[in-house]
Structure 1
Amino acid sequence: GYTLPGGHIESGESIVDAVIREMKEETGLTIKDPKLCGVKQFPIEDGRYIVFLFRTDEYTGDVISSKEGEMHWVKKDDLSKFDLVNNFEELLQVMLDEKLTEFQYVVEEDEWKLILK
């Protein structure tokens, strides 16, 4: 399914620098002034996996596809027409709603549940 660009932080790299680098590598865009807009987390063995969510509307360049997959602009109102990854709409809600900060999966009785805070 469709998802947002993302990646991993390299050793010694700041989180913001990683966001700028990954966007350039995956989309061809040079972004400016990314702002932290939420956190996604889910349990893994002996801990948790944390994803920092950023957004910006400041960029230069043109969208290009990469080894990560085909990249193209999609209007927010057209998202329902695409086969999105599970809970994409809730993730986007956390990123855009200033009242929300956290997208969390928890496991209760062997069932994964989503909590938004």
Structure 2
Amino acid sequence: MQRVTNCIVIDNNHALLLKKPRRGWYAIPGGKMEQGESIKESVIREYREETALRLQDPELIGAFTFSIYKNQSIIQEWMMFTFICKSYEGKLTDYCEEGELEWIPLENIKNLPMAEGDREIYEHVLTSKAILYGAFSYTEGYELLEAQLDPFNN
């Protein structure tokens, strides 16, 4: 099972998002954990690799499992740990090999093309300070089949 970390950075009522070239979907910057890393070490390293920004005190806001199905069989599974951060150091890179980095006004996020599970995560982060727990099931074409979210945090 792959483990990934990512972080929603909010500054001046904007969030820094990554527009992926493959589908044109917006995503939360982050990436794969390395062996032996804590989730906090991973998110700081991954975020810096993609954005050149150093997170200051990122806080865990969500823990999720993702299952990708093909013909009713799981073909891929991973865990994602999502952080939120409102303080960082450094200057945003001009180039990210993962896609285009863009500061998006918070009120515009809900209208962007993205994975439906990410939309649920943003909605939660922008309206609650509680940690969200969830499980998402997708087809191999990333159509959402099911979202199970911890009802106590919605």
TM-score range, shorter chain: 0.7 to 0.9
In the aligned structure 1, how far is the partner of 2:27 from the partner of 2:76?
A: 24
Does structure 2 conserve the Cα–Cα contact (< 8 Å) formed by 1:20 and 1:30?
yes
Name the SS of the counterpart of 2:32 in structure 1: coil
| TM-score, length-scaled by structure 2 | 0.64
**Per-residue deviation at 1:105?**
1.8
The percentage of counterpart residues that share the same residue type is: 30
Counterpart in the other structure of 1:50? 79
**1:36 paired residue number:** 60
Structure with greater strand share of residues: 2
Q: TM-score, normalised by structure 1?
A: 0.81
CA contact (8 A) 1:42 1:49 kept: yes
**Secondary structure of 1:67's match?**
coil
3-state SS, counterpart of residue 92 of structure 2: coil
Contact map agreement 2:61 2:130 (CA 8 A) in 1: no
Q: How many residues align?
A: 114
- Deviation readout 1:37-79 (Å, 9 max, x if unpaired): 1112123649952100111111012222311111121111122
Superposition pairs for residues 32-111 of structure 1, below 5 Å?
32-43=56-67, 45=74, 48-64=77-93, 65-96=95-126, 97-99=128-130, 101-106=132-137
